[in-house]
Chain A
Amino acid sequence: MRLGVRAIVCLLLLGAIVLPLSVPTYYTQFSTKVLILGILAMALNLVVGFGGLVSMCHGAFFGLAGYVLALSAPKYEPAALWLTLPLAVAAAAAAALLIGALSLRTRGVYFIMVTLAFGEMLFYLFHDTNIAGGSDGTFINLKPELALFGATILDLEKARVFYWVVLAFAVLTLVLLYVLTRAPFGRALAAARDNERRARSLGFPIYRLRLTAFTISGALAGLAGYFAAAQFGYVAPQMLGWHQSAIALVMVVLGGQSGVAAPLIGAVIVMGLEEWLKGVTEHWKLAEGLIIIAIVLAFPGGVQSLIDRVIPERSDG
């Protein structure tokens, strides 16, 4: 990274850290939501942008992790963060491993259809059975906490604490994806996207490579889903549905697919637009759709392409 870029990143991070100290609680909660969906979008972009695989079932991994929290949380006390978070992420990873193992045998538009079908299967699993309230969903009465020997270290009931915890995980996700995409793993993943035939004949095990990426991506989507469920205090089947997957995909396309952080920008734009338009007009969805189409037409490479133009060529390859 160049010095100027590094300075900007540090400033942004500092701004993000002090943000809850300077805005009302409502905006702290709103920013938390943006970060959570940003994690989901960044996770999705590992397979969409870097792997060239358009997944339509990341909502399912996101929602599944939320359900794991809802089902494992005690009714009248806060769930233990150190226990339920790894459990939720592991469940999402396992689901991604299974769904990936089956759907990665297909290519292109068939892959989209197969992932869509698997996602909907998980949706109906929770919608049509009585698990966790069926189609009504279920409440998570108390937010998880991190406690040691009875002393609470992190209490997520406090909006600021919740925000900082989510911010920490968002930064961790960003760093993890940054390292992954620059490692041999990420180079091979991009190579398989650019020319699968050449990558295969060089000796790269494409299936295993993509399955690994898909599983990591699903696990990170689960991380986001866990915090989403904790924040809303409620899970419902809609959280697993294709609509959720599609919103994440819109964030990826809007932000840009070539940078690790670009989908996070996409999340900021989509959520910001929604928040603003809701206050302006009753038909905010229509307006939002039109604006999103306009942005995509103006910046086919995502908003990131605009930033790339301002900060030219980084040499960190």
Chain B
Amino acid sequence: MAEIALRTAALTKRFGGLVAVNDVSLELSLGEIHAVIGPNGAGKTTFVNLLSGELKPTSGAIFLGDRGIITLKDDRRGLSGIGRSYQKTTIFPAATVFENVRLAVQAHSAAPLALMHRTARDGLLLHDRANAALTTVNLQDRAAARAGALSHGEQRQLEIAMVVATDPKVVLLDEPLAGMSQSESRRMVEFIRTLRTGRAVLLVEHDMDAVFAVADRLTVMADGKVIASGAPDEVRLHPAVRAAYLGAETLHT
């Protein structure tokens, strides 16, 4: 059994009368990609926001390793090793690709808010690590380009490069393939596959081909609840899943 990187226990979020996330207990293991699927409004993004600390849960608990992190604010969770991407691309559009990644590296450096570079080496260290992170996502040729001028696919790639540059233990990806062309999608799927080494990945995605191509574990949510969870092939055949999520349609393989 792989080591559990992040675990939720009976996590619940209410917005007034609406229970967006209802009693969700879920585990993310190191070295695994855990996909969460479900129809629109199932509470997937709310769940990701609870994990990243952007929303406070109504009740329940979140553990990063053995440590309860419910009281940690979102920036502290980022520092503790939870990195995330957003449904809508969230980068620094006015800065260059290199500067974007350097900011990610800087946030996790020894002195993220240093009022000045004490030595030239401090600057070089950030520089080298940012370049290394760019190389892993194959964006090194675009380093000098303004992030806002990249194609949509490249921007999404950059966003994940920034997340990876912070060296997180847990990576939360909220619909990373949204709006991508087919060829961009294919490249991104290949890249997501490589993310699991040494990390736990939570993948929220609507593209079923991609989900079944990379997921080691699959959880289906509907109306805020988990209705099925397990190996992708088992979940696919689960009767409740077919009823709630797929309706009359059948999944192609």
Instruction: Using CB atoms and an 8 Å cutoff, list the residues of chain A in contact with chain B.
Output: 179-180, 183-185, 187-188, 190-191, 194-195, 197-206, 208-209, 212, 317
Instruction: Using CB atoms and an 8 Å cutoff, list the residues of chain B in contact with chain A.
Output: 52, 54, 74-76, 78-79, 83-84, 86, 90-96, 99, 102-104, 106-109, 111-117, 126, 162, 166
Contact of B107 among A180, A204, A317 (CB under 8 A): A204
- Contact check, A201 vs B114: say whether CB atoms are below 8 A apart: no
Interface contacts beyond A180-B115, A195-B92: sample of 13 additional A-B pairs, CB < 8 Å, sorted by A: A183-B115, A184-B113, A187-B99, A188-B113, A191-B92, A195-B91, A199-B103, A201-B90, A202-B166, A203-B79, A203-B112, A203-B166, A204-B107
In the complex, residue of chain B having the shortest beta-carbon distance to the beta carbon of A200: B75
In terms of DSSP, what is the predominant structure of the interface of chain A? helix
Known contacts A179-B116, A184-B114, A188-B103: A201-B92 contact under CB 8 Å: no
In the complex, residue of chain B having the shortest beta-carbon distance to the beta carbon of A202: B107
Known contacts A191-B92, A202-B166, A204-B107: A180-B116 contact under CB 8 Å: yes
| CB neighbours of A184 from chain B (8 A) | 106, 109, 111-114, 117, 126
C-alpha spacing A206/B107, complex, angstroms:
11
| CB neighbours of B104 from chain A (8 A) | 202
| CB neighbours of B113 from chain A (8 A) | 184-185, 188, 204-205, 208-209, 212
- Contact check, A187 vs B103: say whether CB atoms are below 8 A apart: yes
In the complex, residue of chain B having the shortest beta-carbon distance to the beta carbon of A186: B115
Interface CB pairs A-B, < 8 A, 15: A179-B115, A183-B114, A183-B115, A184-B106, A184-B114, A191-B103, A194-B95, A199-B103, A201-B52, A201-B84, A202-B162, A203-B107, A205-B75, A205-B113, A212-B113
In the complex, residue of chain B having the shortest beta-carbon distance to the beta carbon of A213: B113
C-alpha spacing A204/B92, complex, angstroms:
14
In the complex, residue of chain A having the shortest beta-carbon distance to the beta carbon of B86: A197
